[in-house]
Structure 1
Amino acid sequence: MTDTAAGTQSTRQPGIRPAQDPALRLSPDDAEALCRGTHANPFAVLGLHGDENGWVLRAFLPGAIGVDVLDRDGDELRCSLTQIQVPGLFAARLPHGAPYYLRIRWVDGEQETEDPYAFGLLLGEMDLYLIGEGTHRHLGHCLGAQPMSIDSVEGVRFAVWAPNARRVSVVGEFNRWDGRRHPMRLRHPAGVWELFIPRLGPGTVYKYELIDAQGAPRLKADPVALAAQTPPRTASVVADTTPFEWSDEGWLAGRGKRQAPDRPMTIYEVHAASWRKHGGDNGEIYSWQDLADQLVPYVKEMGFTHLELLPIMEHPFGGSWGYQPLGQFTPSGRFGDSKGFAAFVDACHRAEIGVILDWVPAHFPTDEHGLARFDGTALYEYAHPFEGFHQDWNTYIYNLGRREVHGFLLASALHWLRHFHVDALRVDAVASMLYRDYSRQPGEWIPNKHGGRENLEAIDFLRHLNQVVKEEAPGAVVIAEESTAWPGVTKPVEEDGLGFAYKWNMGWMHDTLSYISTDPLYRSHDHHNMTFPLVYAFSERFVLPISHDEVVHGKGSLINKMPGNDWERFANLRAYLSVMWTQPGKKLLFMGCELAQWREWSHDRELDWFLLEEPRHQGVLNLVRDLNRLYRDHPALHELDTEPTGFTWVVGDDSANSVFAWLRWSRDGQPLLVVANLTPVPRYQYRLGVPYLGEWQMTFNSDAGCYGGSNQGESEVINAEDQPLHGQAASLTLTLPPLGVQILGLGN
């Protein structure tokens, strides 16, 4: 059959008419590319195009049986499109180029929608420039899925960075997951693909279908999605971006002072999915509303100043506890939507509780739907496995030397701090970022350009992160989980430091846990484990952590680390926590430790709340609550946390008796005396030096009956005598309770 319009030989398929107007037809290559779903520039051939004879409209709608064109203003039928060349390709000449919409007839019904290919360029040139430079601070409002109105048409603007893809489409139930239906426009040279799809809105489930650099298809979740399906489902979801109505202006204005080095910070570390469940171990996890109703009052009653959440960014595998996230802009759907999380943060702030999020810029999981080889190349990760793959964790390592990746992670950090009013980020696995040979054997790592082991790109990123947070999120702080002796972690960037506000003191945790786990009979040999951490206690601004990592993977619960019989174990635990709360550094305690939980923590069940029915477990909880209040109410325990003048050893060398004593000082010179007897034997008439004569008041005794102790030791006032000792002007005598800690202050 001869197509008279084209003058070429063709075989028409049923329902496909010859195009009488040659301008309606596409080149065979364009038509075939649309049909195959490989067309890289759909806007060049679809939508409305003007020529010397007027306007030509084309639409590619595989599976459609008919298409009408209607005026957007008057709803009048303008014309019907004719199917030409290949199935699903419709075209017609229009008398004018006024706004229009399509009525599409499908086998199972009709659909009315504006044409996605009727809209012009979406992202501004400045957006594209900033993305390319890695300096776009608002990626969460630029890339991803953004509900909006364009030319008075409601819909969703999709945008994704995939510079090496040959074609990218938006797919979902709205187009039967057919990648041929909504191919996107590529914006050169930024490598960003964009498309506005009318009449979609919040709740729409979607992914990106890519033809990658090698020509292979890939189905990917959105790297900058603001919402996602609850795992094990893997699609992204268009979020409701209506602004949340906050009520925390006063909190935000004052949080900088609250988180300063001279203020008390006690942090309750929580895995949100296992703190408590509806119906016990096998019940449903709490929603953000449940946590606001239950967790926030608990933290307030316990006297903690901050709540730290293990990563709540969307992550495919619950057993990673969130430390292998794929949704760097997405609160996990396990607990509800993003507004639920915002309401939870707002509730914390109303209760005067700061919120810290664990955040992971070091690595990401290899799940096929995620960032891995996103466009067929090592886009987010280093290409070489010696740089780009963590053998220990089976994860990819972010290529922080790439501007766009650097900017992606900076924008993620700012998103949580600004959009969700989070008060602090705790950066996970900083040591793995700093060293190119981290956990690698010789010959399995690539030196930096100077031949060294330092990861210069990561160092630059961390410094930049801390500078940007200081500038753009006033009052917020960034905390490093850094386990090596890297110098200047909390030193200002201007002084060649990394610029963090605080650093976890992993050395303190390791040494003191080693000591307290040793049978008291042999503690004299490990005495240095309790004194050595004070040698470097003021080299950084430290947080003293007893974290989730210490009560999992066979390490046992905190109380199970304690030696001796049950009474001694509880006394040891009370004494250890008392030492922690009275030494320099902010405090962090993982949930369940305050219950003296026997079972090792499991992310699959809730904490053992039933233990509080037993007085000795309730006693430990009472002790933690009272330590928090003591620490908050006595400036000597926090004002000079980061200054050597805030701490003085009184007795640090009595290894034979395993006795320690020290003074903590407030800025105005008010002292507290802390005495620890870490053997199960009482010490009678133990004389200690103190700086002042007069009355000293017993303010705390970990051996008190209300904590489950034996009530040994002085309980009220002790008079210091004019007898210098231990380098102090006076001295007093005490009965030191077994495995007990006492705190004394000057009387009124």
Structure 2
Amino acid sequence: MLSESELQALLAARHPDPFSVLGLHADADGKLWLRALLPGAAGVMVLEAGTRKVVASLPHREGGFFEAPMGRRRKKFEYRFQVRWDDGHEGCHADAYAFGPQLEEQDLTLLARGEHPRPYTQLGAHPMEQGGEHPVAGVRFAVWAPNARRVSVVGTFNNWDGRRHVMRLRHGAGIWEIFIPHMQPGDLYKFEIVGPGGNLLPPKADPYARASQLRPETASIVAAPLREPQALSAERVTANRRDAAISIYEVHAASWRKPEGRFPTWDELAAELPAYAAAMGFTHLELMPISEHPFDGSWGYQTLGLFAPSARFGPPEGFARFVAACHERGLGLLLDWVPAHFPSDAFGIAQFDGTHLYDYADPREGFHRDWNTLIYNFGRNEVRQFLIGNALYWTERWGVDGLRVDAVASMLYRDYSRPAGEWVPNSQGGRENFEAISLMQRMNERLGLESPGAITLAEESTSFPGVSRPTSAGGLGFHYKWNMGWMNDTLRYMHEEPIHRQWHHDKMTFGLVYAFSENFVLPISHDEVVHGKGSMLNKMPGDGDPNEWQKFANLRAYYGFMWGHPGKKLLFMGQEFAQRDEWSHERRLSWELLEDERHAGVQRLVRDLNSIYRELPALHRLDCEPAGFEWLQQEDRLQSVFAWLRRDDVGGEVIVICNFTPVPRPDYRLGVPAGARAWRERLNTDSAHYGGSNVGNLEGTLKVEKKAANGRPQSISVSLPPLATLILVPA
């Protein structure tokens, strides 16, 4: 019989190794004993697994502990428990303590080193069958908690009783594991953890959970088995290349067309969003974070369920259908991904095993002052494995086209948003976070190796060198970088009254000084239309009737400038039809504005800009190459006119001209390159079709004349509309 001390340790859930005493075990004489801890059970019979014949009755000893010798049996056998519970319910089930170690030694070794390429295949909850001749379905659980004294799986299946399913510790890796028979997808669970000091921690959600409850509930949910890897098609790989037309529609899924009083489902979004974005000519959708998060107001940027598509939109399977709907419409899908920080909610990974397991222990490194969040310990191998594995999970298992990585600047610098004396220098005394830099390099390398064709985009707001340079050349390895400087400069210029713009001319030209130092995306993102910044329309000068036409004209001209400028494009939802109000995550976009022709006209313009951006190789093939751009007019400050040439790699050319004053210029002389004999207007943001005054060059071609202008021997005479952008192509 089990010693009294070991029994009391089991009943108090402080036994160091329940697997060594529960289940079938031989004593010193070779006699088999069967022991079970089933609090709440009134009686337990032992059955043979195959025949279901009764082998023995287990006497109740104390506190739900049952044990008995197995007669003359000397060999272990497969068995089941027939349990009669105190409430009268009866059931037959397999014993979790009848199953041996779960993870292979090779996987444990890699996990312990932080080198497992796919940790999500081992850690977390995985439905499967186990057993010998009579296998049983259940769920294998594994969790990293190296400093814990005890870890149990708790849930509705065991009345949240931490004594019932205490896990086995695989000491070398600090990983706890157990196979629990009869659990299945949809079951709720958490981990009950006793910390190194013997204190019971708040029940913890699974860091590797692939499904979670809808907030404010916080339990993890057993998800369906992992999807098979989803390779990108050749078409999708081509569409992600730096010589492709990339125009991104950024969306907050919950509020795009938010139904009254609830969140949209993935299937509702799949039925409308991809079709709309494709009809608008966008090449990619970018979703603000859709991994599970506790607080709606964080917009997903404070996530505690990196592996779980948010329950706000229904079961994870719906997300798979959404991805397929995007690809069926010819759209790439990008996800915002947040490896910089995480919230400190007690049910999450903060103090996960009673220690600073996932974050830096020193608050000068581990606490984010701006967001009151915790910063991942980028130097710890197991944490790096967690983050890099998560990036691969989304691209490989869900088939998304890429990840836009949030808050990269906050990761790169140890003194980010910290005053002097409140940050820890690196090993060389500097401010760069070498661990975070290495993490991003390894993440990009891993995706390049395991998910060829998938792309990463960095939201990086500083001049850190080589963000989109390959790691082999010392860069971070991202494919693209958001051009925050271009966005800030050009929006400041557009905010000026036209009469003052001559004094701010350089804000529109400065971006070309560094435009080809990175592979840039020009972003007009959600960050530009929240927190009192106003909508894009309301950033533009021209208050009230009869001057409101200037707001629309300015916005249309700016969009023309943006689409004609080198760099990939990104526009946040609602700005394609000149949303008037600042964006709020709590309400849907103001789609009713499209009943107003001025708003409908802006929408038609964005659709046409996307169309010609894709149609004309000169506007995208060399987006990231200096050979694709040449100034034609950059010095006309007094009239606030800009003009440039865009080229492709096979001789195609396009001219872009912007007039950022409300003054029409009917005979503007512009020097042009030799070659084309005439040019014609391909797009005019002042067209009546878009809500403009219809000034322009729609009646005929613009012949190249042998009249010198702007240092060129030949030129054209152009009628420049007020507050407008023209795109010209060879006639």
Mapped to 2, the partners of 1:254 and 1:614 lie a distance apart of 38
Mapped to 2, the partners of 1:631 and 1:343 lie a distance apart of 29
Mapped to 1, the partners of 2:501 and 2:640 lie a distance apart of 7
Task: Give yes or no for contact 2:359–2:366 (8 Å, CA) kept in 1.
Answer: yes
Q: Secondary structure at the match of 1:721?
A: coil
1:244 Cα shift?
Answer: 7.0
Aligned pairs (5 A) from 1:254-333: 254-278=235-259, 282-333=260-311
The residue aligned with 1:350 is 328
Task: Give yes or no for contact 1:26–1:45 (8 Å, CA) kept in 2.
Answer: no
The one-letter code of the counterpart of 1:239 is: A
1:89 Cα shift?
Answer: 1.0
Mapped to 2, the partners of 1:419 and 1:253 lie a distance apart of 17
CA 1:272–1:36: 2 relative to 1, 3 Å: same
Aligned pairs (5 A) from 1:188-587: 188-218=171-201, 219-241=203-225, 243=227, 252-278=233-259, 282-564=260-542, 565-587=547-569
Output the TM-score relative to the length of structure 2. Answer: 0.97
In the alignment, structure 1 residue 137 sits paired with structure 2 residue 117: yes
The one-letter code of the counterpart of 2:206 is: D
Task: Give yes or no for contact 1:286–1:335 (8 Å, CA) kept in 2.
Answer: yes
> What per-residue deviation string (whole Å, max 9, x for no partner) do you get for residues 630-678 of structure 1?
1000000001111111111111011100010011011112211111000
Mapped to 1, the partners of 2:714 and 2:372 lie a distance apart of 60
Task: Give yes or no for contact 2:227–2:398 (8 Å, CA) kept in 1.
Answer: no
The one-letter code of the counterpart of 2:14 is: T
Of the three residues 140, 160, 167, the one matched with 1:184 is 167
% of aligned pairs identical? 55
Task: Give yes or no for contact 2:190–2:205 (8 Å, CA) kept in 1.
Answer: yes
Of the three residues 54, 58, 76, the one matched with 2:31 is 54
1:252 Cα shift?
Answer: 1.9
The one-letter code of the counterpart of 2:284 is: H
Of the three residues 117, 142, 150, the one matched with 1:167 is 150
> What per-residue deviation string (whole Å, max 9, x for no partner) do you get for residues 111-134 of structure 1?
221110010011000111111111
Aligned residues: 716
1:695 Cα shift?
Answer: 1.7
Task: Give yes or no for contact 1:276–1:285 (8 Å, CA) kept in 2.
Answer: no
In the alignment, structure 1 residue 88 sits paired with structure 2 residue 67: no
Q: Secondary structure at the match of 1:196?
A: strand
Mapped to 2, the partners of 1:335 and 1:471 lie a distance apart of 31
Mapped to 2, the partners of 1:87 and 1:632 lie a distance apart of 72
The residue aligned with 1:120 is 100
Mapped to 2, the partners of 1:245 and 1:663 lie a distance apart of 43
In the alignment, structure 1 residue 674 sits paired with structure 2 residue 656: yes
- Displaced runs of 4 or more, over 3 A: 242-246
Mapped to 1, the partners of 2:597 and 2:299 lie a distance apart of 31
Mapped to 2, the partners of 1:463 and 1:729 lie a distance apart of 49
Mapped to 1, the partners of 2:77 and 2:2 lie a distance apart of 22
Task: Give yes or no for contact 1:254–1:475 (8 Å, CA) kept in 2.
Answer: no
> What per-residue deviation string (whole Å, max 9, x for no partner) do you get for residues 134-176 of structure 1?
1212222211110000011110001100000000000011111
1:242 Cα shift?
Answer: 6.3
> What per-residue deviation string (whole Å, max 9, x for no partner) do you get for residues 291-314 of structure 1?
110001001100000000000000
1:729 Cα shift?
Answer: 4.0
The residue aligned with 2:17 is 41
Mapped to 2, the partners of 1:112 and 1:26 lie a distance apart of 28
1:197 Cα shift?
Answer: 0.5
The one-letter code of the counterpart of 1:737 is: P
The one-letter code of the counterpart of 1:676 is: C
In the alignment, structure 1 residue 76 sits paired with structure 2 residue 58: no
In the alignment, structure 1 residue 104 sits paired with structure 2 residue 83: yes
The residue aligned with 1:26 is 3
In the alignment, structure 1 residue 719 sits paired with structure 2 residue 696: no
1:27 Cα shift?
Answer: 3.9
Mapped to 2, the partners of 1:336 and 1:135 lie a distance apart of 33
Output the TM-score relative to the length of structure 1. Answer: 0.94
Q: Secondary structure at the match of 1:220?
A: coil
> What per-residue deviation string (whole Å, max 9, x for no partner) do you get for residues 165-210 of structure 1?
0000000111111111110000011000001110110000000000
Mapped to 1, the partners of 2:214 and 2:326 lie a distance apart of 24
1:400 Cα shift?
Answer: 1.1
1:245 Cα shift?
Answer: 10
The one-letter code of the counterpart of 1:578 is: G
Mapped to 2, the partners of 1:253 and 1:107 lie a distance apart of 61
Mapped to 2, the partners of 1:173 and 1:385 lie a distance apart of 37
1:216 Cα shift?
Answer: 1.4
Mapped to 2, the partners of 1:462 and 1:304 lie a distance apart of 28
Mapped to 1, the partners of 2:652 and 2:107 lie a distance apart of 55
Mapped to 1, the partners of 2:119 and 2:592 lie a distance apart of 45
Task: Give yes or no for contact 1:140–1:226 (8 Å, CA) kept in 2.
Answer: no
Task: Give yes or no for contact 2:401–2:454 (8 Å, CA) kept in 1.
Answer: yes
Q: Secondary structure at the match of 1:285?
A: coil
1:502 Cα shift?
Answer: 0.3
The residue aligned with 1:710 is 693
Task: Give yes or no for contact 2:243–2:620 (8 Å, CA) kept in 1.
Answer: yes
Mapped to 2, the partners of 1:244 and 1:539 lie a distance apart of 38
Task: Give yes or no for contact 1:518–1:563 (8 Å, CA) kept in 2.
Answer: yes
Task: Give yes or no for contact 2:229–2:399 (8 Å, CA) kept in 1.
Answer: no
1:538 Cα shift?
Answer: 0.4
Task: Give yes or no for contact 1:244–1:342 (8 Å, CA) kept in 2.
Answer: no
The one-letter code of the counterpart of 1:98 is: F
The one-letter code of the counterpart of 1:271 is: H
The residue aligned with 2:596 is 614
Mapped to 1, the partners of 2:4 and 2:236 lie a distance apart of 63
Mapped to 1, the partners of 2:633 and 2:284 lie a distance apart of 32
Mapped to 2, the partners of 1:53 and 1:685 lie a distance apart of 105
Mapped to 2, the partners of 1:243 and 1:648 lie a distance apart of 48
1:584 Cα shift?
Answer: 0.4
Mapped to 2, the partners of 1:727 and 1:501 lie a distance apart of 37
Task: Give yes or no for contact 2:665–2:720 (8 Å, CA) kept in 1.
Answer: yes
Task: Give yes or no for contact 2:265–2:313 (8 Å, CA) kept in 1.
Answer: yes
Task: Give yes or no for contact 1:244–1:339 (8 Å, CA) kept in 2.
Answer: no
Mapped to 1, the partners of 2:173 and 2:402 lie a distance apart of 32
> What per-residue deviation string (whole Å, max 9, x for no partner) do you get for residues 331-386 of structure 1?
10111122111111111111110000000000000010001010000000000000
The one-letter code of the counterpart of 1:227 is: A
Task: Give yes or no for contact 1:482–1:503 (8 Å, CA) kept in 2.
Answer: yes
Mapped to 1, the partners of 2:316 and 2:111 lie a distance apart of 24
Mapped to 2, the partners of 1:637 and 1:726 lie a distance apart of 23
Mapped to 2, the partners of 1:72 and 1:537 lie a distance apart of 70
1:725 Cα shift?
Answer: 2.0
Aligned pairs (5 A) from 1:684-695: 684-692=666-674, 693-695=676-678
The one-letter code of the counterpart of 2:52 is: D
The one-letter code of the counterpart of 2:196 is: A
